[in-house]
Structure 1
């Protein structure tokens, strides 16, 4: 059994090691990381999952970005340790963090597989451009407030 809790500063390096394990150390070369350079994650939304022995099983983070003039949350990375995959941990972290995000934000963006993320309410965005070489079919959005993505388009840029 895993317990979800807010990520603390003391969890940082252990979470980074989990992301490296799940995505390889070269993950930071991805274009989405240029949106995160020198920008802290949204600390209130970072979640981790630990088992009864305190072992880290999963983590999720969000980052502030802009699409045109709109403030947007960029979901990711999200990772589950290989020994804990298939137990619904990612789904629990996504649902928990989206519920928290809805208290202060209007919309969420992620780059991912629609067949997986549509069960949470994500949909394909059109008119939103991630830095290349992102596949436009993988640019997904989620409304934290009804209609929050309506009329939002443009390039995704980092928060200065």
Structure 2
């Protein structure tokens, strides 16, 4: 399945590539879902001032075009001189449709897009029981760390290429493209 075909409607909800006009609705959703403290998380240190990895900023919308969910993946380096990987997050869904499978739909699309784009691994800080169903575990994150405080048991990884994380160690470093200054100020 090619990337364009993958970004088609699974049900009454369509998963689409995020567009610039989605930013205000996405930011409002993230504020509602995660609270104002979301910008102080360790993951945010790796995202601040950066663009999501190319082709890996997705939104879920209903038939009327209302944004119901979002997920983005970011380029990171595994330690000072380590391999490239992706950092997933945040994943958020409107509370009114939280049990409708939209988060799972976004995750399936994001994982498939990352595979098709040739990425080797995805890391995240999140709820282990939720992300385990997609293949994430803490098994390969033992020698890696996040910048700043985080809960070790919530630091999870999924290899898209077997062995990608073998020998990986150190603190994750932001490595993606930088945002244009006007976009950073508007999104903050």
Work out which of the residue numbers 127, 130, 140 in structure 2 matches 1:113.
Answer: 127
- The 5-angstrom pairing of residues 126-137 of structure 1 reads 126-137=142-153
TM-score (norm 2): 0.81
Q: Supply the RMSD in Å over aligned alpha carbons.
A: 1.2
Following TM superposition, the consecutive aligned residue runs of length 4 or more in structure 1 with deviations greater than 6 angstroms are none
- The 5-angstrom pairing of residues 139-154 of structure 1 reads 139-154=155-170
- 1 or 2, which has the higher strand percentage? 1
Query: Any idea what the Cα deviations from partners look like across 1:94-126, whole Å, max 9, x if unmatched?
Result: 011110101221010000121111110001021
Shift of 1:26: 2.2
What secondary structure does 1:120 align onto?
A: coil
Separation in structure 2 between the aligned mates of residue 43 and residue 77 of structure 1, nearest angstrom: 16
Q: Kindly indicate whether residue 94 of structure 2 is the aligned counterpart of residue 78 of structure 1.
A: no
Shift of 1:132: 2.5
Shift of 1:57: 0.7
Separation in structure 2 between the aligned mates of residue 113 and residue 54 of structure 1, nearest angstrom: 29
Shift of 1:43: 3.8
Larger Rg: 2
What secondary structure does 1:4 align onto?
A: strand
- 1:90 corresponds in structure 2 to 103
Q: Kindly indicate whether residue 28 of structure 2 is the aligned counterpart of residue 14 of structure 1.
A: no
Unaligned ranges ≥5, structure 2: 1-11, 177-188
- 1:49 corresponds in structure 2 to 60
Unaligned ranges ≥5, structure 1: none
TM-score (norm 1): 0.95
Higher alpha-carbon deviation: 77-86 or 32-41: 32-41
